[in-house]
Amino acid sequence: MFNNKTDFKQTFERRLEEKYGRSVADSHITERYDILGEMVRDYAGTEWRTCREDILDENKKQLIYFSMEFLMGRLLTSNMQNLGIFKVAKEGLEEFGIDIGEIEDLESDAGLGNGGLGRLAACFLDSIASLGYPGYGNTIRYEYGFFRQKFLHGQQVELPDQWLTNGFVFEVRKPKHAVEVKFYGSAETFLKPDGTYGWKLNNPTCIRAVPYDVSVPGYRNGIANSLRLWSAEPSENHLPTNQSFEDYLTTLKELCHGLYPDDSTEHGRMLRLRQQYFLVSSGLQSAMRSYHRRFGSLDDFADAYVIQLNDTHPILAIPEAMRLLMDEYGYGWDKAWGIVTKLFAYTNHTVMPEALEKWPVNYVQTLVPRVYMIIEEIARRQEIWMNESQVPGSDRYAMYIIKDGQIHMTNMAIFTVFSVNGVAKIHTDILKEYTFREFYKYYPEKFNNKTNGVTHRRWLMYANRKLSRLINSAIGDEWRYSYEKEIGKLKPFAKDAEFQKKFLEVKHACKEEFAAFVKKTYDIDIDPNSIYDVQIKRLHAYKRQLLNVFHIMYLYGRLKEDPTFKMVPHTYIFGAKAAPSYAYAKKIIELILAVAAVINNDPDANKFMKIVFVENYGVTLAERIIPAADVSEQISTAGKEASGTSNMKLMMNGAITLGTLDGANVEIAALAGEENEVIFGLKAEEVQKMVDEHSYNPWDVYNSDKRVKSVMDSLFSGPWCKGDSNRFRMIFDEIMAHNDQFFVLADFGAYCEACERIDKLYSNKKSWAKAAITNIASSGYFTSDRTIEEYNRDIWHLPKLEGIDND
């Protein structure tokens, strides 16, 4: 611990000398980063210990948050800010002649996540700690993350994300908490000493799961929780006899090699299943063992813990919990089931039935045979229950857990858990009325909505310090602690001419900073006076990056055909990764890059527009882009996006939403006012009606709208094809031959009109500033603090922790 600048400097000097044998002046920047990171980690560790003692002394209920990913971003600055030590460290380092910014830039983004699911989980951990609740993330310690994106020859190439090259200073390895996870083998009965029969695995492959804990400090409240990362190591006592040690080590390395293995092969799919079981078995074993050691029983385990399953990936936790209770702790089915059904809650993140996880029966039978037996029994009992509890007009087959040789994981979750939540109002309504309508008939009380949120600390306070200072000057700094309640006080300033002027100055300064970064990184000159039009999200067909680039292609065609055509200058900014096996998404990236190469190098066009596709998009790049954004592109097909979170981050930073009424856009438009956003396109019910009636044909649009015909034809003959007429045939075929599944052409005309409305609004600086400030002032609902309070009020029921007073 250090309490002032003098203590900090003495500690920094001493630790450098003790660990590296160097003075501050002689030390390398990597050594400085390591020592500073250790000091921050240990500072948070003191708070973590105090909170842990509070939980144990008072037997307080705890949350375990299972998620396959946590996209944490850099931790050094955010942890120092949350702990209230950033200023001390910055000034102390300055007296050594060290720029803290150089040390900050040395940190890699932790390779523990990919997209919105992982970023949401990271925001939740920040809010849980900042609100003072005991909650802990559990995931895998991926050695090489998802992948590092590189653009070579105009295409995405996937390279290993070597984020652990310089170690991960914030983690603490805790081998005493290791557990053993068992795969394969055969399930056999045995006679127990009391004369009853039990089950055991014969000849399994045993893997030692070792936890690494990362402290998650709350915002200046003396509270620190943790994110637990599970790593696979060789078993100490049960090495395999049926394979070589080298093959066994390969099995271990695969488990923690990377996030979301390629599922286009059977091996990759089995690896995904192994990862999921490894995570949930490790976390459950650790929690149950700890509780049993203290109390000698797991009778009240569901009163001491609540487990949130973030999406479908951790649902194997349900049968695994049953296995542990019955096979390891001697519970009968009924008592174990009583515990499990009080223990788990499930968050759904997709409205598309085809995206709900299903596993072939033979995969689970082979990998975890005893777990499969339990799933079979859950399914059998579900069918009995449905027969006894018939609901008129219900399709019970849709609810079956095992059917057509597949285990439907979400069906098992909804049957078992006590809470099922969607992540935006429209999303939850679709779950009730469409995706899970049969379950909703049986279990209406289980379903609830928890609209997503993002942590305003990282995405406004730390990412956009200029805007934060401006907000402080208007309404004080209480919004930092109580964002939902306080940020609304900014609304009167939306009409204040002086505040509008200051806001536009701040935005322009952020845009200039991003322009300098783009020049340095990509050697592209962009105009800070242009509209920064931003679409940053995972590349998927339903998110419709294609609609965006089709519009850009249309504008380019107009500029080339009509010398009198003028447009408001735009800089189109894309950030997205496509899954390695998702060929169509990768082809869309190739198209955007090809269009960018043409436009950016064409003097007729590049004075009006430029395209920047940032490479290897992640949290740190988002922190550069979002403060500079003018327009927030949220253009997914209505009814397909569960919530979205980039829309919330961009709103907090004063970007205007250009979007469909999908996901959280619905609530953004309602809270800020549709007059302060630009909403367009088909509504969810209109899309569904066209699907149900088979009334949409993209050829009708192609033949009736010359803009659409020109854009589609250019996929064969445009300058982006570079003479290869087949280069983008896949995109043409996906739209025209597969009936435009995500209604890109259906919404094209409305999107073009919406873009014109954006240009018109931007041309009136006062109106634009008013709308942007109104968005910021209306964003209080979208802090993850509000989301977590709702989870706790309705689902978790966690007590508050007693933190350390650092003042």
Verify whether residue 645 is a known catalytic residue.
Answer: yes
Is the pLDDT at 387 greater than 90, yes or no? Answer: no
Which of 274, 538, 577, 727 is labelled catalytic?
Answer: 538
Spatial strand order of the sheet with 358-360 comes to 358-360, 406-408, 402-403
In a 13 Å sphere around the CA of 503, the CA atoms on its Cβ side amount to 30
The DSSP line for 321-389 is HHHIIIIIT---HHHHHHHHHHHEEEE-----GGGS-EEEHHHHHHH-HHHHHHHHHHHHHHHHHHHHS
Contact 72, 112 (CB under 8 A): yes
Tokens for 462, please give them. 């730390």
Residue-wise pLDDT tens digits, 55-93: 999 999 999 999 999 999 999 999 999 999 999 999 999
**Core vs surface per residue 605-641: b (16+ CB within 10 A) or e:** bbebbbbbbbebbbbbbbbbbbbbbbbbbbbbbbbbb
Is the pLDDT at 515 greater than 90, yes or no? Answer: yes
Verify whether residue 489 is a known catalytic residue.
Answer: no
Contact 679, 661 (CB under 8 A): yes
Which of 74, 208, 220, 537 is labelled catalytic?
Answer: 537
Verify whether residue 441 is a known catalytic residue.
Answer: no
Nearest 5°: the CA angle 495, 499, 505 is 125
Region 404-411: what's the mean pLDDT?
A: 97
Is the pLDDT at 535 greater than 60, yes or no? Answer: yes
Contact 86, 75 (CB under 8 A): no
**Residue 391: what pLDDT?**
77
- Length of the chain, please? 807
Verify whether residue 480 is a known catalytic residue.
Answer: no
Residue-wise pLDDT tens digits, 420-470: 999 999 999 999 999 999 999 999 999 999 999 999 999 999 999 999 999
Which of 349, 507, 551, 770 is labelled catalytic?
Answer: 349
**Residue 805: what pLDDT?**
62
d(CA 283, CA 317): 9
d(CA 320, CA 201): 14
Alpha helices in 523-618 (DSSP H): 545-561, 583-600
Tell which wins on pLDDT, 565 or 388. 565
Region 683-705: what's the mean pLDDT?
A: 97
Q: Is 672 helix (H, G, I), strand (E, B) or coil?
A: helix
**Residue 692: what pLDDT?**
95
Verify whether residue 649 is a known catalytic residue.
Answer: yes
Is the pLDDT at 390 greater than 90, yes or no? Answer: no
Is the pLDDT at 806 greater than 60, yes or no? Answer: no
**Residue 176 identity (one-letter amino acid):** K
Quote the mean pLDDT of the chain: 96
Contact 320, 371 (CB under 8 A): yes
Residue-wise pLDDT tens digits, 227-264: 999 999 999 888 888 889 999 999 899 999 999 999 88
d(CA 660, CA 684): 9
Which of 649, 727, 770, 786 is labelled catalytic?
Answer: 649
* Strand 631-634 to 678-679 pairing: unpaired
Residue-wise pLDDT tens digits, 599-640: 999 999 999 999 999 999 999 999 999 999 999 999 999 999
Contact 804, 50 (CB under 8 A): yes
Residue-wise pLDDT tens digits, 54-63: 999 999 999 9
Percent of the chain with pLDDT over 90: 93
Region 646-667: what's the mean pLDDT?
A: 97
* Strand 358-360 to 447-449 pairing: unpaired
d(CA 612, CA 524): 8
Residue-wise pLDDT tens digits, 284-343: 999 999 999 999 999 999 999 999 999 999 999 999 999 999 999 999 999 999 999 999
Verify whether residue 543 is a known catalytic residue.
Answer: yes
**Residue 744 identity (one-letter amino acid):** V
**Residue 115: what pLDDT?**
86
Backbone angles phi, psi at 234, to 5 degrees: -65, 140
Closest residue by Cα to residue 725 from 740, 735, 737, 714: 714
Is the pLDDT at 541 greater than 90, yes or no? Answer: yes
Return the DSSP state at 255: H
Crossing angle for the helix pair 583-600 and 729-736, to the nearest 10 degrees: 120
Residue-wise pLDDT tens digits, 479-505: 999 999 999 999 999 999 999 999 999
Tokens for 477, please give them. 């700094």
